[in-house]
Structure 1
């Protein structure tokens, strides 16, 4: 799958929208909690990818897996950390708090790619990161001052997600920069499998009913398997900080869905900060599109 820049941007927006459904769905679970939520979601991600990958890339996909590549295993480990930490954080604190903490991703990604790959980012992207950072700082500062429950613990767990994501996007681009023809889409499957193995003992005994399992099956397919696989394809076209910046849309979408679907009403500071984040994203992409036309 070869994408143009504009197509990759649009596809990343779709990925962010799909990722953002986790918070609102989690709030409608009846019995599943913490590590059990993570286990079932990862389990259904594995099942989904076992069907999707052969249809997408042919039945030989599993014979072509780069088992000897360190990039493949590191990428899978990063996905497993993201899958596990995100859902555990959602069970500890509010959706908005988790998403706000995750939004440090562009800063971490920009730092990683600058050190590891030597990437020089355009001024517009740095400007977007700064503006988005101000919005995030405002949201987080206000939430902390209000004494949100489990804010510190939930934030520390959530912080694992942007750290792993920044490493993941950097690995994808570093492997291509070195001329390695590696397909890291299956690493999403590896990450989900690792997450299953690690969380099952912690989730036992399983308590989820039919409704919970149905909701988590939907998350495994539509919130993880499909968008995570597509985001790896986008990362081949977009620079890693740009991927991370577009992924920030998950914050806006996620807070809005939690508000409308689970009655988690965000503070005014969250709405103001979210507007800054969204404005930074739109400005960055519009300036890039205009520069290309000129």
Structure 2
């Protein structure tokens, strides 16, 4: 499916809105917790993808997985880490903490690409990494001092696995592309969902989810994860990397707002301060880079 630029922008905004419902939805679960939440969401993601992918790509999608090679499977492992860590983090830490921590993904990706692929980083990106680091340190410092809430710090640390895995995923794809081997991220999403389901199944026992919980998690597996992940891959083909990075930040804003309005989970002042530094650094870095490239044309 080919998208025009304007349609890709609109679709990416819709994608971030779909992603952002995870936090507020988990706050309305009755009995499911921890690994069980992750298992059910990943399980329903697999079911959704098994229906959607053959409709879009035909049975060839399964041969792509078998013949995909190490890069595709490593990408799948990264997706599995992201799927699993995200839900575990949400079960331990406030939504705002998790989303702000995840938002440093573009900067971690740039940093990893610098050392693995050799991409040179402009001064503005190094400054952005420093400012974002201060923002994250502000959040972590407050949680370290809150001895009565050790789960929040653990949840934030687990959330850090999401941007790290995302950075590795992007680097693997880019390195494979540079070597003449393109990795199709769509089937690798299915690989990641299957791995997440298999890994979390034994840890999910004994099941405690009510039918209400299973219904909500089924919705997350399809509407919040499977569908928007596929759409985001398509959007990335029509948008430039800085545009995608900036639009993805909307998930942070939407997610915090939904948790605040829909679950009465107001972000702490330290999160607002640290998040402002992180998001400000990201926006300034991408916007300045975009402006510089346009002036060179």
What TM-score comes out, normalization by structure 1 length? Answer: 0.85
Identify if the C-alpha distance between structure 1 residues 18 and 277 changes in structure 2 by more than 3 Å, giving closer, same or farther.
farther
The answer as to whether partners of 1:99 and 1:251 remain within 8 angstroms in 2 is yes
For structure 2, list consecutive stretches of 5 or more residues without a partner in the other structure.
Answer: none
The answer as to whether partners of 2:143 and 2:150 remain within 8 angstroms in 1 is no
Query: 3-state DSSP class of the match of 2:24?
Result: helix
The answer as to whether partners of 1:110 and 1:240 remain within 8 angstroms in 2 is no
CA distance, structure 2, for counterparts of residue 233 and residue 126 of structure 1: 29
CA distance, structure 2, for counterparts of residue 107 and residue 288 of structure 1: 13
Matched, 1:132 2:132: yes
Matched, 1:208 2:209: yes
Identify if the C-alpha distance between structure 1 residues 146 and 242 changes in structure 2 by more than 3 Å, giving closer, same or farther.
farther
CA distance, structure 2, for counterparts of residue 178 and residue 8 of structure 1: 28
1:166 is aligned to 167
Over the residues paired in the alignment, what is the CA RMSD in angstroms? 2.9
Shift of 1:157: 2.3
Shift of 1:30: 0.5
1:194 is aligned to 195
Matched, 1:112 2:112: yes
CA distance, structure 2, for counterparts of residue 181 and residue 270 of structure 1: 39
For structure 1, list consecutive stretches of 5 or more residues without a partner in the other structure.
Answer: none
CA distance, structure 1, for counterparts of residue 263 and residue 205 of structure 2: 27
CA distance, structure 2, for counterparts of residue 272 and residue 9 of structure 1: 28
Query: 3-state DSSP class of the match of 2:266?
Result: coil
Shift of 1:207: 2.3
What TM-score comes out, normalization by structure 2 length? Answer: 0.84
The answer as to whether partners of 1:173 and 1:235 remain within 8 angstroms in 2 is no
Matches of residues 147-186 of structure 1 in structure 2 within 5 Å? Answer: 147=147, 148-186=149-187
1:74 is aligned to 74
